A and B are shown apart, each in its own frame.
Chain A
Amino acid sequence: MYKLMVVDDEVEICDFVKSFFEERNFDVCCAYNGSEALGLAQSSSPDVILLDMLMPVMDGMQTLKELTRRKIRSRVIMVTAIDDTAKIKEARSNGARDYITKPLLLENLERAVLLAAQMLDETKKK
């Protein structure tokens, strides 16, 4: 069972995404801010992290940089606002593997997370 961590300050979004991926056989945990995400990432080492860019206090970008600095091996998918190309570039150069734009297409959400999990398998095989 793959482990997914959802990081979003909106509880409803966390709840929905959690239930969405639990139905797809993921083990899902939620973090509602950046620092919580860092702690949870270290303790439960998720395979995939779905990280919202726009959060108060410690935003997605800061969280991403800190995850990379701490050498956390999870695959990070950023969730950003549409047309935020500069942020997407910055996230990529800071270790994010993929991104989804909000409001999102559910099939993209499903595909991106499944793909990230499968990629993890391939690297493990090697």
Chain B
Amino acid sequence: MINKNEWQKIEDWLVKNMKKGPNGLPSFPEKQPAVRPEPELDYQYMLEEASKNMIRFKRPEHLIRMIVRTIDEQVRTSHTAMLVYSDTKNYFSLVDSKGLTGNKIPVGFIRIMEDNPLIRVFNERHNFKINSSGALTLKELKLNLSNDPSIKDDNELMVLIPEVIKQMELLKSVLCVPVYHKKRILGVLLLGRKISNKKFSRQEISFFTTLANDVGMALSNAQLIQELNRRIEEVQLLYAREHSLFLHTAISLAAAIDARDAYTHGHTERVTRYAQIISEELESLPEAKQYSNFKETLHVASLLHDVGKIGVPDSILKKTAALTKQEYEKVKEHTIVGAIILAPIRELGEIAREIRAHHERFDGKGYPDGLKGDDIPFISRIIAVADTFDAITSDRPYRQAQLKEVAVQIVSDNSGTQFDPIIVSAFLLAYRKGKL
């Protein structure tokens, strides 16, 4: 940045080298580039800096802080502050403030309501009638009140202007620059008198209005982003709620299945637990990664794997004697019924397939479709092991519970025939770790 001393040198050089014009005043030498070393060029530079910074700042408060600091240091006012409207609080308050002791209005100390005359004059755009720049100076307001005939005829302004003057005096401000975005007032830049007691130049006021426009842009962008984030949060919350409702529905449904039969009581809960324990050894496999959410799909599928038993009559479910062929066929149907029940539910579409296949065998001799090997969904293969392990280790109408060791042996013996060897080895690993 070119400092004042350097400007002075340029100015001195130009004065020395300029030809005298026809009226005796200095004029620019011909063919010389038109350099106008007036103080407003300083502002031009500051403005460019501010605009560059505006892009750099993600948060409008940072831009505001830079602007307030720049004005305080460069323009040297008794105080400088930025009022900004808060949508949540419904009033204007100071975002940043600087200045001399006693003149500086502490941040957080005051609030300005929307119906404050100072806000109204900007909101109703009366300020442009007083000064085309939109900025209001105390001096001009007082002058207009006593002299301007167009204001004398305007009853509303005749009432409003003294109130605006009063507000500016309360705020110790001699210049107020509105921050608009699309004609909506978002904030006000407050400036106290210059320490030098000189009046603000037109260039300075135009500099402040440009800065205020930048702030308006930054504030409205930030508001848009904030609003967007709020909506995203809302959608996420809705989704989380719906999702939790869905999970609880699955749990209730599973509890309803269990409750039908004292013998299988707790079966669903146990199978879900076993399946989860086995799956912990399998999480890194590509088969697990093909699910968008492996853990949850497994959890819900295990909870609902027997949901189709709703379609199996109690007389069969609770029968102690051996089942007839027709009865056994009815029992086998629970895989298909389960899938049919769940298929229409969008969130459970994937799970319906896993539930239909939880009685398939690795060698293709299972039901209902006789799927073989990798054609059986991965989760169904896990549930198959967990399901069998629980069936053996709990009491059934037709036999008593067997020891864990016996069940482990049976599962192990059926690896590669009834069960997927990968799942069986994961099962054995978990068993050896004492998890089962």
Interface assignment of A87: CB less than 8 Å from any CB of chain B? no
Assuming the A-B contacts A104-B110, A104-B111, are A16 and B170 also in contact, with contact meaning beta carbons closer than 8 angstroms in the complex? no
* B102 contacts partner chain A, Cβ-Cβ < 8 Å: yes
**Are B106 and A12 in contact, with the CB atoms below 8 A?**
yes
Q: Would you call B108 an interface residue if the criterion is a C-beta within 8 Å of the partner chain's C-beta atoms?
A: yes
Q: What distance in Å separates the Cβ of B11 from its nearest Cβ neighbour in chain A?
A: 38
Which of these, B91, B103, B109, B167, contacts A13 with CB under 8 Å? B109
* B102 adjacent to A19 (CB under 8 Å): yes
Q: Which stretch from A35-43, A65-73, A105-113, A114-122 is at the chain B interface?
A: A105-113
How far is A106 from B306 in the complex, measured between Cα atoms in Å?
71
Interface residues on B, range: 10 to 19
Residue contacts A-B, CB under 8 angstroms, 27 given: A10-B106, A12-B109, A13-B106, A13-B109, A15-B102, A15-B104, A16-B102, A16-B103, A16-B106, A18-B102, A19-B102, A19-B103, A20-B102, A22-B102, A102-B109, A103-B93, A103-B109, A104-B110, A104-B111, A105-B110, A105-B111, A106-B110, A106-B170, A106-B171, A107-B167, A107-B170, A110-B170
Contacts of A102 in B (CB 8 A): 108-109
Residues on A close to B: CB < 8 A? 10, 12-13, 15-16, 18-20, 22, 102-107, 110
The majority secondary structure among interface residues of chain A is: helix
Closest to A18 in B: B102
Q: How far is the CA of A102 from the CA of B110 in the complex (A)?
A: 7
- A33 to B170: give the CA distance in the assembly, Å: 26
The closest CB in chain A to the CB of B94 belongs to A103
Q: Is B113 an interface residue (CB 8 A)?
A: yes
Question: Once bound together, how far apart are the Cα atoms of A55 and B415, in whole Å?
Answer: 74
A106–B101 Cα distance when bound, in Å, is: 18
Q: Does B174 contact A (CB under 8 A)?
A: no
- On chain B, the residues within 8 Å of A10 by CB distance are 106
Q: Report how far A10 CA is from B172 CA in the complex, Å.
A: 20
**Nearest Cβ on chain A to B118's Cβ, whole angstroms:** 11
Among A12, A16, A105, which residue has its beta carbon within 8 angstroms of that of B112? Answer: A105
Which residue of A12, A18, A103, A110 has the most chain B CB atoms within 10 A of its CB atom? A103
Contacting residue for B109 out of A16, A18, A107, A110, CB 8 A: A16
Q: Chain A residues near B103: list those with CB within 8 A.
A: 16, 19
B68 at the interface (CB under 8 A from A): no
| Structural contact, B109 and A105, CB atoms closer than 8 A | no
Q: How far is the CA of A12 from the CA of B91 in the complex (A)?
A: 22
Cβ of A123 to closest chain B Cβ, rounded Å = 28
Within 8 A of A (CB), among B412-431: none
In angstroms, Cα B110 to Cα A103, docked, is 4
Complex contacts, B111 vs chain A, CB 8 Å: 103-105
The distance in angstroms between the C-alpha atoms of A13 and B103, with both chains bound, is 10
B300 at the interface (CB under 8 A from A): no
Chain A residues with CB below 8 A from B113, complex form = 105
**10 tightest Cβ-Cβ pairs between the two chains A and B:** A19-B102, A103-B111, A106-B170, A12-B106, A15-B102, A15-B101, A13-B106, A103-B110, A103-B93, A13-B109
Contact residues in A for B171 (Cβ distance below 8 Å): 106
Q: Point out the residues of chain B lying under 8 angstroms from A16, CB to CB.
A: 102-106, 109
The residues of B that contact A19 with a CB separation of less than 8 Å are 101-103
- Measured between beta carbons, the chain B residues less than 8 angstroms from A106 are 110, 170-171
| Contact flags B81-116 to A (C-beta < 8 A → 1, else 0) | 000000000010100000001111110111111000
Which interface residue of B93, B102, B167 has the most chain A CB atoms within 10 A?
B102
A106 to B93, CA, bound (A): 12
Nearest chain A residue, comparing its CB with the CB of B170: A106
User: Which partner residue on chain B sits nearest A110 by CB separation?
Assistant: B170
Distance A103 CA – B108 CA, assembled complex (angstroms): 6
Complex-state Cα separation, A79 to B91, whole angstroms: 19
- A12 and B170 form a contact (CB under 8 A): no
Q: List 8 additional A-B contacts (Cβ < 8 Å) besides A16-B102, A103-B110.
A: A12-B104, A16-B103, A16-B105, A22-B102, A103-B93, A104-B109, A105-B110, A107-B167
Bound complex: CA of A12 vs CA of B94, how far in Å? 14
| Complex CA–CA separation, A10 to B109 (angstroms) | 10
Residue in A closest to B79 when the chains form the complex, CB atoms: A16
How far, in whole Å, are A34 and B140 apart by their CA atoms in the complex? 44
CB-CB nearest in chain B for A22: B102
- A19 to B169 alpha-carbon distance, docked (Å): 13
Q: Return chain A residues, CB-CB under 8 Å to B166.
A: 107
Which residues of chain A are near B91, meaning CB under 8 Å?
103
Report the Cα distance A117→B104, complex, angstroms.
25
Cα–Cα distance between A22 and B167 once the two chains are bound (Å): 17
Cβ contacts under 8 Å, A105 to chain B: 110-113
